[in-house]
């Protein structure tokens, strides 16, 4: 099936940013006085909006400390770690192939903030690759399907003409709640059995495999 609209998650799907997210959240938790967070626990919440991620990682955290943790996370992610984040090998070429196809629409649905997504769009020069995007702070966090609903309306695409691509159950469950097809990728944070429970129409184990399937 040819999908007029391909909607991509960002972290762990297109960009290799997992290590920075984990280290930034761990540092922020220590500085906010919450203590050490296990790396696997942080990996598990990647894809959620930041308030939802903090609430899941730190049950019962008071609002003042949660705000401090949020601020310290933002500092570490943007300024504390100055190493470049890169797309997974093959992503840029794969997206270019899709952009070259007539009538193809591309979008991003991410747990990042609008400020964060726009910053990485600018740094990577990728903002013009996508026809639309939604972030968790301007709509509802995954797995609620609202950001997908808004993208369909903005781009005037029917739900059966679109596919959601992501590395977490939050991505896949967001699509399933709307009756949208989804594709799981296994190089991100959630394990294949967990992804399979959300019934993706395809599971890609490598970046070229994903784009070959989308471009078929």
Count of Cβ atoms closer than 10 Å to residue 118 Cβ: 14
104 and 209 in a single domain? The answer is yes
pLDDT tens digit string along 137-178? Answer: 999 999 999 999 999 999 999 999 999 999 999 999 999 999
Picking from 28, 47, 80, the residue at the C-terminal end of a domain is 80
Q: In this predicted structure, what is the pLDDT of residue 181?
A: 98
Average pLDDT, the chain: 94
11 and 27 in a single domain? The answer is no
Q: How far apart are CA 103 and CA 168, in angstroms?
A: 28
Q: CB within 8 A of 99, min separation 6: which ones?
A: 106, 129
pLDDT tens digit string along 51-74? Answer: 999 999 999 999 999 999 999 998
Number of domains in the chain: 2
45 and 33 in a single domain? The answer is yes
Structure tokens at 211: 């784009």
Per-residue pLDDT band for 2 (boundaries 50, 70, 90) equals confident
Domain hosting residue 56, numbered range? 18-80
111 and 125 in a single domain? The answer is yes
Give residue for tokens 């509802």: 140
106 and 133 in a single domain? The answer is yes
Q: What average pLDDT does the segment 85-104 reach?
A: 94
């Amino acid at each position: 099936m040819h999908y007029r609209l391909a909607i991509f998650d960002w972290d762990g799907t297109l960009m290799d940013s997992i290590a920075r997210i984990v280290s930034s959240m761990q540092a922020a938790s220590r500085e906010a006085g919450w203590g050490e967070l296990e790396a696997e626990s942080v990996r598990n919440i990647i894809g959620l909006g930041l308030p939802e991620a903090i609430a899941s990682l730190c049950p019962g955290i008071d609002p003042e400390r949660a705000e401090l943790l949020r601020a310290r996370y933002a500092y570490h992610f943007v300024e504390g770690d100055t190493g470049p984040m890169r797309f997974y090998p093959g992503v840029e070429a794969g997206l270019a192939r899709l952009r070259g196809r007539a009538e193809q629409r591309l979008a991003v649905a991410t747990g990042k903030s609008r400020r964060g997504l726009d910053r990485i769009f600018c740094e990577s020069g990728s903002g013009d690759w996508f026809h639309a995007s939604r972030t968790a702070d301007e709509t509802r966090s995954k797995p609620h399907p609202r950001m997908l609903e808004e993208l369909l309306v903005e781009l005037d695409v029917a739900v059966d003409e679109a596919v959601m691509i992501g590395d977490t159950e939050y991505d896949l469950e967001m699509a399933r709640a709307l009756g949208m097809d989804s594709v799981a990728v296994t190089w991100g944070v959630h394990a294949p059995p967990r992804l399979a429970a959300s019934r993706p129409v395809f599971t890609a184990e490598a970046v070229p495999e994903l784009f070959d399937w989308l471009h078929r």
